[in-house]
Amino acid sequence: MSIAVLPICSDLAIFGASMAGSCVGFLLHNRYKASVFMGNVGSLALGGALAAMAACTGMFFPLLISTGVFCY
């Protein structure tokens, strides 16, 4: 989503890249013997941030593609 938003609003692209970086850091830290649970607050915040990025730019098709993985 961050790459799709880059030509329209670079500030949102930076926000999306930082959000993706924090998710990668969480996955690397929680790689073996998963001791940290994200829970509803973390997952709903990530989904809300993705939806806010799509709503601010009007690009709902990349949001549909990126969230379609979880609906399958």
pTM: 0.74
Spatial CB neighbours of 13, under 8 Å, sequence gap ≥ 6: 2, 3, 5, 6
Q: How confident is the model at residue 18 (pLDDT cuts 50, 70, 90)?
A: very high
For tokens 């030509």, the residue is 7
> Domain locations in the chain?
2-67
More confident residue, 19 or 68: 19
